[in-house]
Structure formats: C-alpha cells, structure tokens
Amino acid sequence: MSHQISVMVHTPAHSGIGGALTYESGTAHTAGTLVRVPLGSRELLGVVWGGAAPHADSGETAPMQLRAIASVLEGLTPLNAHWRQLVQFAASYYQRSAGEVALAALPSQLRDLSAEQWARRLKRKPKVVAAYEGATQTIPTPTEEQAQVLADIATHKGPFLLFGNTGSGKTEVYLRAAQAVLEHNPQAQILVMVPEINLTPQLEERFRARFCPQWGADCLVSMHSSLTPAQRLKNWLAAHSGEARIVLGTRMAVFASMPHLQLIVVDEEHDPSYKQQEGARYSARDLAIYRGQLEGAKVILGSATPSLESWHHSRPATTSEPAGRYMRLAMPSRVGQGALPLVRRVDMNRQPYKTVFSNHLLDAMRERVTRGEQILVLLNRRGYAPVLNCNDCGWKSECPHCSAFRVFHKLDRTLRCHHCGFTQPVPRACPSCGNLDISPLGRGTEQLEEHLAELLADVRRPDGEPIRIARIDADSTRLKGELERQLAEVHAGAVDVLVGTQMIAKGHDFRRVTLVAALNTDGALFSSDFRAPERLFSLLMQAAGRAGRDATMNLVSPCEMWVQSHHPQHPLFEALKQHDYPAFAEQQLKERAQATLPPFSFQALVRAEARSQEAAQGFLNAAREAGAALADELMVDLYPAVPMTIQRVANIERAQMLIECTSRKALQHFLAHWQADLHALRNAHRQVIRWAVDVDPLAI
C-alpha cells in the first residue's frame, strides 16, 4: 500500500503554486520530516507538511500519476508543529508561499546535500568539544532597577518592552533572565536576536563568558549571514537537536528550529534591520512576538528608543483607552553613576558659509584628545563626496543605470553607485565639456576623516604622539575581520577620533568616549517619509549613548554630545537635549493619530519592476482597478501607482502603490483575495519583470 504525502518545496510567489505538492511514498512519514523530491527535471529538498493518506491500488486507471519521493534525510528529528505553524503564519501574513518561507529558513547546505552526501555526513565522528578557556566573568550585583525588572519578568507573562537608557544595563537583564530560565529547566533554549552582524561578536563574547563555564563551550551558537554554509548547518543542527541552549543571531534566527524554546530576547528592537527587504519581507521582531505566543515563551523587546509601534502597544491604561498588549518595564538610570551626556546644539546659521566644524566644537575636541579621551564623529554618508560636479556645464556624476548619483571615493579614485555597484575611475576632465576643474559636492566620511586630520594636525595625545583618526563604515570594513580589528583598536585606546556612519552608533560599549559630534542631521527633519524623524531621533539618542558610559570619565568634565543644525530649536532637538524619549514619542504619536498613520492604521505596498515606468505603473493601476470593488467593501484605500523614490536601479524601472486600512484583519482579507488578481494580471502585463507585496513597510 502506498501513501499520498503533502510536501512543501521552494516555490516562488510568482509561480502561482502557493501550497504543498502531493507525492507518493511507500511508507508514511511524520509531518516535519525532511525529504528530497523530484520537481520537473530537478531534485529539491522538501518538508513533509500534511498527514499521509493511504490508498490502495484499485486496478482502475488513476486520474493522475503521482511522482514518488526520492529519499528521506535520515537521522533528523522532524521539524515540530510550532515551527511549521510559524512558517505558515509568516507566509500568510506577508503574502508569500509557505514553501518559499520554509525552505529559505533552512541552511543552504542542508538544501543542497543529496541523501548520499547526508548519509556520509552522519557517519563522521563528532569533534570533541574543547573546554571553554575564555576569561571568567565577574558577575555584577544587579541594581535596584534591574532587580525590579527581573522580578516583573519572572512573575508576569509578557511580552515585555524593556525601556532602558543607554548604559542602564539591559544586557545584564538579558543575561540574568536567560540564566533563570536555564537553571529552572534542564532542556530550555533561549533565542537572543541583534539587528546587525557587527553587534554579534561583542554580545556573543559576554554570553559565552557568562554561560560556557557552567553549561559547556558548545551551549551557545550564532546564526548570521557571515557564517560559512558549513558553520550555519552545524549551528542549525545544534539548535535543532537541543544541544545548543542559546542561539544568538540576526533576523534569520527567528526561524531557527528550537524545540525547547522558552525565552526570546530582541535587542535594539527599534532597528529597521529586523525587517527583511528581499523575498518574504517579514519583520523578525513581530514574528518573535508571535512565536512567543505560539510556544509559550516569554519575549523581551529591549531598546533605549523603542519603535513607536512597540511604545504604543505598551501604553498604560487610561480613562479613554485600555492598556496595550505589552508590559512596559523602565530602567532610566545608568549603571555605576554614569551620567547621560550634556547635549549642546550649534546653530549653523551663525557659522561662516561652508563651515564643517564650528570653532567651539573643534576647541572641545582638542581639549578631549589632549586629556586622553576619545571622540565619535557621526555622519551617515560614506564615500568622499556624494556627487562630482562640473561648475562650467553643470555635469554631475549620475549613474547611467540608476536614477541616482555615483559617489566619489577618493582612496581608490572611483565613482561608485551604491545602488547597482557600477564603478568607474574618476574622469580626468568633465565628460560633457572637457573642463579639467571638476570638484566634489557635499561630504562623506572619507572627506571628513581627511578634513579632521588637517584641522587637528597640531593636537598631541598625552604621551606626545600625534592624534590618531580612524574611520568605520561599509567601505573601511569590507574585508573579513576588519571591523573586529578596528573596534578592538578603539577599545584599546589606540584611536582618538572615530569617524563613521550609523555603524558606530549602535550597541558598542566604548568606555573612553566622552564627546560625540553629529553632523548634517537636518535632512530627516522635513522628509516626505513620516518615519524619518523617528529614525533620526533614535540614531542621535543611540549615538549620544556611546558617551559617558564610564562614570570616572565624567569626573574631569561632563561628557557631551554636539549636534550641528540649521534648525536647533526644532522640537526633536529639544527632546534630545532632555534625553526625553517619552515626550518625543507622545508628540509623534499625536501627529500620527491625527493623520491616521501607523500604528493607528495598517499599510501594505505593492512594488512592480519593469523595463519602462509606464509598464510598471500600468500593472499596478490595473491591479488597483481589479481590487477596487473588494477594497470599497472592506474600506481599504488603494492609492494610485507612483514611481519609487529611486525609480530606476540597474536599468530596471520601479513603481509602487500604497494600500491602507484602519483594520489589520480587513487588510489581510483583502490582500489574500487580491493575490489571484495579481497573478492573473501578470499574463496580460508581460513587460513586468517582478512584483512583490510588502506588508507593514518601513520605507515608502
């Protein structure tokens, strides 16, 4: 007797195959079993999704001939029901196929290994795990605030929003909460998520020092895109088997197979990096909340500047509205008497034209360096200059393939597009008129590093040595291990002034930094993106938090943050000066409520890409017409198609259409039924290369 089994394979959203495929098998297989199945001329990894239905051969002609599964990956425990339910929910909510989400969540090497290769891998003798030889960590006594927060986490269900100022000891709360879970349950597993890879080594080191001496060197594994395929498979298997007690990773880790998950920590929960921007555009933070509910695991979201959505969901009850779904826990004080930096605002309207650093700021920087203190300079734009310009004819370094400018990089004398990667040597003369005098417009971190070296050339360190300036951005840390090396130099005190992009503003514990300077901050104040002020305030608050983390550095003079702006009296800077996130959040939420913007409404974007803007917009407007009747019935607003902010990338035109509704349920209902229209329209709009639905978009 053979069995019909449902198998989920990787089928892209555009294929029109959204569910599981049916195969034949001589034996029944438990749901969650990994199998290899034929699809067309290929053989793919699949996950058994449904129960097996036995059927006997009646001798009559079968209505269709089912293909048999090729092989089973033996020795692997089936993926459990909670994991499959998480995948099913993510696929449904974010409008993708379940197979695409399920298979993308598995290590690439597992997808590629044949049954024979997998069998050979199983026969390998496991390596003997060496004893942990790292430095033992002195466990600090928790502060009163930390103790209260930990007591609340222990006695309440959550989810929790841990609102703690930079330097308040949120990481120590994570460590102690994890320790309590591990000591209570001998099998418990913990998922700790960070927004970016560059934060992982630092946090991993602290977790290893705390847990490896007691639970073994193999109790913790990491998951992020910098791992090799072999490392990722090894770590995934350790988590799947329950051998790894703690998984530390970026957004992809939310789909890690962890059968005994009991605690999820999402550090810096406000960070946009938790939102996937390709394929299934899921929010790992939001899926962490869902997974916690699904598996009965506690969830801690931590941030000094929470997202406005999380802040709204953790609101206390009032006479006019009930309390939010999250429990808000506050830690306003810094550990060890460290003080938050004094925020100074510089009115650039009173500075000479084209001033980069005001004289008062330069004097403050000189004073700090001569005392052996460190400085961070934040400019969120890499390269030497954003544009190269000809003053005679007006030529600018536009990218021929994108509707954007190529950035001038002086170190290798190139013009590089940060969107498509197109790179050319800097021309000797203007390509348009032949003028030899072409000059850079604007500033990037490269130019800032060079300019500071000139301005501070006469400054000496306490030992009489010249000042040392370093730069950390996506260009300077491109090589493997370079970021870790540069951060180690900063921590060791070998760098006096660190220039960088937002990479230096997040999560790093620089003990000797006493001054932070933020340049060119005004662009986000009047952006068309309603989330721009939230992102700017978060970035500046996080950057300010790098200063004054060591209380002894405040003994000579207070630590400072300098913000240069042409609008120093803007309410955002007023709230920043007071380190008053609640006031900023209240003002922003009031504006959003008046405009019915998230979190008071729910949005989705449909993006289309084609060889011409007309084709992309034509597809979206046709989709708008097809869904108009249902949208009216459900009170869903469909806006006309418009070009994206950067409408052409790599010679592909891009357009988008916004969908908005005050009911999440109605929006989801509309999107689910509208999918059939989108697939049907694809046949009539052959010029469209691809389209995608982005639910809860972060950038419009």
What is residue 575's DSSP assignment?
H
Is 390 known to sit in a ligand binding site?
yes
pLDDT at 548: 73
Q: What is the average pLDDT across 92-106?
A: 92
**pLDDT at 53 > cutoff 60:** no
Strand (E) or helix (H) holding 602:
strand 602-610
Cα dihedral sign, 306-308-309-311 = positive
For 20-29, 113-122, 157-166, 377-386, which range has the lowest pLDDT when averaged over its residues? 113-122
Question: Which residue in this structure is represented by tokens 């195959």?
Answer: 17
Is 212 known to sit in a ligand binding site?
no
For 55-64, 447-456, 596-605, which range has the lowest pLDDT when averaged over its residues? 55-64
**pLDDT at 366 > cutoff 90:** yes
pLDDT at 59: 46
What six digits make up the tokens of 152? 């609340």
Is 559 known to sit in a ligand binding site?
no
Sketch out the chain's domains with CATH numbers. 2-123 (3.40.1440.60), 144-335 (3.40.50.300), 338-382+444-594 (3.40.50.300), 384-443 (no CATH), 602-695 (3.30.70.100)
For 14-18, 85-89, 233-237, 538-542, which range has the lowest pLDDT when averaged over its residues? 14-18
For 38-47, 153-162, 262-271, which range has the lowest pLDDT when averaged over its residues? 38-47
Residue 106: CB atoms within 10 A of its CB come to 20
pLDDT at 15: 63
SS3 track for 452-515: HHHHCCCCECCCCCECCEEEECCCCCCCCCHHHHHHHHHHHCCCCEEEECHHHCCCCCCCCEEE
DSSP codes, 300-340: EEEESS--HHHHHHTPPP-SSS---SSEEEEE-SPGGGPPP
Portion of the chain with pLDDT greater than 70, in percent: 93
Is 399 known to sit in a ligand binding site?
yes
Longest distance between any two alpha carbons in the chain, whole Å? 94
Q: What is the average pLDDT across 345-361?
A: 92
Is 433 known to sit in a ligand binding site?
yes
Is 661 known to sit in a ligand binding site?
no
Residue 616: CB atoms within 10 A of its CB come to 29
Q: CA-to-CA distance for 297 and 291, rounded, in angstroms?
A: 8
pLDDT at 14: 61
Q: How many CA atoms lie within 13 A of 92 on its CB side?
A: 9
pLDDT at 322: 85
Question: In terms of pLDDT, which residue wins out, 122 or 627?
Answer: 627
pLDDT at 503: 81
Which of 541, 529, 590, 700 shows the shortest CA–CA distance to 308?
A: 590
Let me know: does 219 contact 301? Beta carbons within 8 Å. Answer: no
What six digits make up the tokens of 233? 């498979």
Q: How confident is the model at residue 3 (pLDDT cuts 50, 70, 90)?
A: confident
The overall average pLDDT reported for the chain is 89
pLDDT at 360: 94
**pLDDT at 33 > cutoff 70:** yes
Is 219 known to sit in a ligand binding site?
no
Q: What is the pTM of this model?
A: 0.91
What six digits make up the tokens of 434? 């032949």
**Cα distance from N-terminal residue to C-terminal residue, the chain:** 55
Residue 697: CB atoms within 10 A of its CB come to 19
DSSP codes, 75-134: T-PPPPHHHHHHHHHHHHHTT--HHHHHHHTS-HHHHH--HHHHHHHHHSPPPPPPPP-S
What six digits make up the tokens of 420? 């498509």
DSSP codes, 409-465: ETTTTEEE-TTT--EEEPPSS-TTT--S-EEEES--HHHHHHHHHHHTTT-B-TTSP
Question: Which residue in this structure is represented by tokens 């370094």?
Answer: 397
Question: Which residue in this structure is represented by tokens 């026969």?
Answer: 123
For 45-59, 588-602, 632-646, 656-670, which range has the lowest pLDDT when averaged over its residues? 45-59
Let me know: does 605 contact 645? Beta carbons within 8 Å. Answer: no
Q: What three-state secondary structure class fits 674?
A: helix
Q: How confident is the model at residue 135 (pLDDT cuts 50, 70, 90)?
A: low
**pLDDT at 54 > cutoff 70:** no
Which of 556, 204, 510 shows the shortest CA–CA distance to 378?
A: 510
Question: In terms of pLDDT, which residue wins out, 632 or 40?
Answer: 632
Let me know: does 516 contact 504? Beta carbons within 8 Å. Answer: no
pLDDT at 502: 85
CB-based burial label for 61 (10 Å; 0-12, 13-18, 19+): exposed
What six digits make up the tokens of 603? 């949005």
Residue 603: CB atoms within 10 A of its CB come to 18
Q: Which residues of 246-275 are buried (b: 16+ CB within 10 A; e: fewer)?
A: bbbbbbbbbbbbbbbbbbbbbbbbbbebbb
pLDDT tens for 275-304 read: 998 888 999 999 999 999 999 999 999 999
Question: In terms of pLDDT, which residue wins out, 270 or 134?
Answer: 270
Q: CA-to-CA distance for 258 and 545, rounded, in angstroms?
A: 34
pLDDT tens for 303-341 read: 999 999 999 999 988 777 788 899 999 998 888 766 788
pLDDT tens for 512-558 read: 889 999 998 888 888 888 999 999 999 999 988 888 766 666 666 78
Let me know: does 7 contact 21? Beta carbons within 8 Å. Answer: yes
Let me know: does 566 contact 522? Beta carbons within 8 Å. Answer: yes
Cα dihedral sign, 473-478-484-489 = negative
What six digits make up the tokens of 220? 């913790």
pLDDT at 26: 83
Portion of the chain with pLDDT greater than 90, in percent: 59
Question: In terms of pLDDT, which residue wins out, 483 or 142?
Answer: 142
Q: How confident is the model at residue 62 (pLDDT cuts 50, 70, 90)?
A: very low
pLDDT tens for 565-578 read: 999 999 999 999 99
